[in-house]
Chain A
Amino acid sequence: MSSNLFARESLAGRSRTALSSGIVTLVGAGAAGNNIAQTLALEGVGELRIIDFDTIEPSNATRSPLFPKKQVAEAPGKAETLAHSVARLSYAERPVVRYGNAKVEDLGLGAFVGSGAIVPAVDSLPVRAYLADVARLLGIPLVEIGFGFPVGQVSVYKNEAADEVCWRCNRADASTERASCSWYARKMAEDGKVPATQTLAAALSALAAEAVIQALHGRFPLAGRRFHLNVETGASDLVTVRRDPECAGVHRLHEAIAPLPVTVDAALPEVFAALKAMASDPAVRLSGLFVREAPCALCGSCVRLNAPARTIAEPPRCSACVVPASTVTPILAFSTIAEEDAIELALPNLRALGFAPGTVIEIEDRSSGNISAVKLAGELGELFTTIDLPPASTMTVT
Chain B
Amino acid sequence: MNTVRHEKNESLVPIEDCMSNNTNTATPTPPGAITVTFLHPRGAGKRPISLNKAITGKMAIEGLIQKRFIEARPNSGYALVLQRTKEELPLERSLIEAGLEEGDVINVTDVSAGAGA
B75 sits at the interface (CB 8 A): yes
| Smallest CB gap from B93: residue in A | A246
B111 sits at the interface (CB 8 A): yes
Query: What 0/1 pattern do residues 17 to 54 of B give for CB contact below 8 A with A?
Result: 00000000000000000000000011100000000000
B88 sits at the interface (CB 8 A): yes
B114 touches A147 (CB 8 A): yes
| Smallest CB gap from B109: residue in A | A228
Tell me which residues across on chain B come within 8 A of A54, comparing CB atoms. Answer: 117
B92 sits at the interface (CB 8 A): yes
B115 sits at the interface (CB 8 A): yes
CB distance from A154 to the nearest CB of B (A): 11
A60 touches B109 (CB 8 A): no
In Å, the complex CA distance between A182 and B79 comes to 25
Tell me which residues across on chain A come within 8 A of B115, comparing CB atoms. Answer: 28, 30-33, 120-123, 145-147, 181, 196
Tell me which residues across on chain B come within 8 A of A238, comparing CB atoms. Answer: 86
Tell me which residues across on chain B come within 8 A of A33, comparing CB atoms. Answer: 115
- How many chain-B residues does the 8 Å CB contact rule pick out? 32
A172 sits at the interface (CB 8 A): yes
Return the contact of A184 from the options B75, B91, B109 (Cβ within 8 A): B75
In Å, the complex CA distance between A193 and B116 comes to 12
Tell me which residues across on chain A come within 8 A of B78, comparing CB atoms. Answer: 173
| Smallest CB gap from A34: residue in B | B116
Interchain Cβ contacts within 8 Å, total number: 140
A148 touches B114 (CB 8 A): yes
Tell me which residues across on chain A come within 8 A of B110, comparing CB atoms. Answer: 148, 151, 153, 228
Tell me which residues across on chain A come within 8 A of B79, comparing CB atoms. Answer: 170, 226, 239
Q: What 6 A-B pairs are tightest by C-beta distance, nearest first? A: A31-B116, A181-B117, A196-B116, A173-B77, A32-B115, A146-B112
B117 touches A180 (CB 8 A): yes
Tell me which residues across on chain B come within 8 A of A153, comparing CB atoms. Answer: 110-112
A83 sits at the interface (CB 8 A): no
In Å, the complex CA distance between A240 and B113 comes to 18
Return the contact of B116 from the options A32, A173, A187, A244 (Cβ within 8 A): A32
CB distance from B104 to the nearest CB of A (A): 15
A188 touches B74 (CB 8 A): yes
Tell me which residues across on chain B come within 8 A of A181, comparing CB atoms. Answer: 115, 117
Supply 4 further A-B pairs (C-beta < 8 A) apart from A151-B41, A238-B86. A30-B116, A63-B116, A170-B91, A201-B116
Choose among B81, B112, B116 the residue with the greatest number of A CB atoms under 10 Å from its CB: B116
Tell me which residues across on chain A come within 8 A of B111, comparing CB atoms. Answer: 146, 153, 171, 226
Return the contact of A123 from the options B57, B85, B92, B114 (Cβ within 8 A): B114
Tell me which residues across on chain A come within 8 A of B107, comparing CB atoms. Answer: 237
B74 touches A240 (CB 8 A): no
Interface residues of B in 60-117 (CB under 8 A from A): 61, 73-79, 81, 85-88, 90-93, 107, 109-117
11 A-B pairs with C-beta separation under 8 A: A30-B115, A60-B117, A123-B75, A170-B88, A170-B92, A184-B117, A193-B74, A196-B116, A228-B109, A237-B81, A237-B107
